[in-house]
Amino acid sequence: MAAEANAYDAWFRAQVQAALEDARTGTSQVQVMQAAQALIDAKRQVEPKS
């Protein structure tokens, strides 16, 4: 069980390091919420009101 924990810890640390080194630009929370709202609004226009 200790070996599994150590393996997971090493994997997790590698994932975090890779994320920290990722040079791609991120998407802001505002952009995500605007896109989500656009999808919701589009869905509401397609579905008939009950």
Q: pTM above 0.85?
A: no
How far apart CA 10 and CA 3 sit, in angstroms, is 11
**Structural domain of residue 22, as residue ranges?**
1-46
Q: How many domains does the chain have?
A: 1
pLDDT tens digit sequence for 13-36: 999 999 999 999 889 999 999 999
- pLDDT of residue 47 exceeding 90: no
Determine the Cα–Cα distance for residues 36 and 48; give it in Å rounded to an integer.
Answer: 20
What average pLDDT does the chain have? 93
